[in-house]
Amino acid sequence: EIELNLGLTKLGYKGTLIPLSPPGPLLLTNVCMKLQHARSSLGYIFTNLPSTLLHLETLSLQCSELERAILPENHIKFMYLKHLRLQLRHPVTEKKIDLLDFACLLEAAPLLQKFELHMWMPLHHQRYREEAHGELRSLPPQPHAHLRLVHISGFIGMKDQLELSLHILRNSAMIRAMKVDPKPLFALPCISMLSPLEGFQYLDGYEVAIEYLCREDHNNVVDVSEIRREEVETLSVCELVYPDCVRLTRKANSSS
C-alpha cells in the first residue's frame, strides 16, 4: 500500500499492483503507472484508482491485458481528464479481451482531448474478414465534444480493434486527427519477442484500416501509416518497426 501526500501533483510508479491509499482528496493531476502482474487496464482504472483523484488531467498506464474486466454498472467519471495514454500487451495464445469495451472511456472522460492506445498482440490473432468473423458490431451513439487527437498503434486489423476505432471516429465530433499505425511502436516489451512473420500482421492492419476506417472518414482526419507488401517481404521485422535504429547500428558497425 502506498500512502500519498495530499500536496503531490505528479506520480510515477513502476512495480506490482499496490493500492494507493490517500488520506483524503488529492491534488494529483498527472499519474504514470507501469504495472506488473495487473490483468486488466480497465479493471485498474475503474476499481483500483481511488475516487479521490478528483483533479486528474493526465493518466498513462502500461500493463498486460490478460482478461476481460467486469466493470461496475455505475463507474466513476474523470471529469478533468484530458490526456489518456494506454500501453497494452496481450501476450497469450487465446484471446480473452474485447477492445470494444474501451469505448466506455469516452463516457468516463467527457473532457478528454487526447487518447493514445498502443497495443501489442501476438501473431496468432487474425485480421477482420466479414465472411469469417461476421458483421461489425456497433454501440449506441456516445457523442464526445472534446476529443481532438487519437493515436492508435499496434493496429493489426482485428475485429474489435476496428470496431473500437470506428466507434471513436463516429462519435468524436471535434476530432482533428486520428493516426493509425499497424506497427507496435510503444507497447512492445522487447525486440526479441517479435516474430519474423509479424510484418504480415502490419500489412493486414494497414489494409483493414484503409478499407474500413478511411471509408468512414468524412472529414479527412484519418492518417494510416503505410505498410508496403514489398517491404514486408524483403525487410526483417526489426527493420520494419525500428528502421532508424537499424540504420544507425549498421552505420556504426561499418565505421568500426
pLDDT for residue 9 is more than 90: no
Q: Is the dihedral of CA 125, 131, 133, 136 positive or negative?
A: positive
Average pLDDT, the chain: 86
pLDDT of residue 47: 82
| Better-scored residue on pLDDT, 209 or 31 | 209
pLDDT for residue 87 is more than 70: yes
pLDDT of residue 203: 96
Q: Whole-angstrom Cα distance, residue 34 to residue 88? A: 10
The percent of residues above 70 in pLDDT, for the chain, comes to 86
pLDDT of residue 110: 96
pLDDT of residue 3: 57
Q: Whole-angstrom Cα distance, residue 47 to residue 163? A: 25
In 3-state terms the chain splits into helix, strand, coil percentages (rounded to 5) of: 30, 20, 45
pLDDT for residue 249 is more than 60: no
Contact 116, 86 (CB under 8 A): yes
| Better-scored residue on pLDDT, 88 or 250 | 88
| Better-scored residue on pLDDT, 157 or 19 | 157
Backbone conformation region of residue 200, classed left if phi is above 0, alpha if psi is from -120 to 50, else beta: alpha
pLDDT of residue 96: 81
Burial class (CB in 10 A: 0-12, 13-18, 19+), 184: buried
pLDDT of residue 212: 97
Written as nine digits, the cell of 105 is: 472511456
pLDDT for residue 30 is more than 80: yes
Around Cβ 242, how many Cβ atoms within 10 Å? 17
What mean pLDDT do residues 79-87 have?
96
Going from the C-alpha of 93 to that of each of 90, 97, 122, 124, 202, the distances in angstroms are 9, 12, 7, 7, 18
Contact 83, 58 (CB under 8 A): yes
pLDDT digits (tens, 9 = 90+) for 175-218: 999 999 999 888 776 777 778 888 999 999 999 999 999 999 99
Contact 119, 187 (CB under 8 A): yes
pLDDT of residue 193: 73
pLDDT for residue 253 is more than 80: no
Tell me the pLDDT band of 55, cut-offs 50, 70 and 90: confident
Beta bridge partners of 224: 180
pLDDT digits (tens, 9 = 90+) for 120-130: 987 677 899 98
pLDDT for residue 251 is more than 60: no
